[in-house]
Amino acid sequence: MIAIIDYGMGNLHSVSKAVERLGVTNAIVTSDENELLQADGAILPGVGAFGDAMHNLRETGLGDAVRYYAQSGKPLLGICLGMQLLFSESEEYGRNEGLNLLPGRVERFRGDYKVPHMGWNKLEFRQPNHPLFEGLEEGHVYFVHSYHAKPEQPADLLAVTDYYQPVTAIVGRGNVFGMQFHPEKSGPLGMQLLNQFLKLVDNRVAL
């Protein structure tokens, strides 16, 4: 079973439909801690502000449930804001603590260029032999974000894109993954990457 976590700020329908198109028949959208902890894989989507999202996660108890889930060793995928929430903190509208599953900080783009970063950008696989990229080629995916994650550990950085600087696109540590772009809205490569995550759930390969 795949649990798509509903904490009031995710693009739940598009993620749910994408998972369904990939052949998953037992995905559920849930805000129930017990259902989450029983799932074989979990997806944490997100649209909106970091601080509001963490407030909702704390108020519902889902923040602790996500941490417990990650500690269980079962695959967890954060998408867009959901990826940023995996990190230690964000500077969006003041300092806000994150789930702290990945050490690092989320910062606003700074420079003489358009913010938000919006559009199709090519991925560069920093760890091309990672199971998430098995059989895949680098290509373009769709980004919409004003803040970007800066992992503390280089080993957690799986893929980047270029937007006036290297920008974190995919992260991973053990069973915890994040994608800054929306894979469900990113054409064939996005769906392939989402499918690779679902394969990791099915196979529980060594991560």
Whether 181 and 120 have beta carbons less than 8 Å apart is answered as no
Peptide bond into 75 cis (omega under 30): no
One of 89, 92, 148, 184 is an active-site residue; which one?
Answer: 184
Task: Say which amino acid occupies 48.
Answer: G
Single out the catalytic residue among 13, 80, 97, 130.
Answer: 80
Which of the residues 117, 145, 148, 182 is marked catalytic? 182
Residue 181 C-alpha from the chain's centroid: 8
Partners of 144 in the beta sheet?
118
140 as an active site residue: the answer is: no
Residue with tokens 């994040």: 178
Our answer to whether residue 130 is catalytic in this structure is: no
> Residue 59 phi/psi, 5° resolution?
-65, -35
Letter string b/e over residues 16-31, b meaning 16 or more CB atoms within 10 A of that residue's CB: bebbeebebeebebbb
Active-site annotation holds for 137: no
Largest pairwise CA distance in the chain: 47
Alpha helices in the chain (DSSP H): 12-21, 33-38, 50-60, 62-71, 81-85, 187-203
The catalytic site residues sit at 80, 182, 184
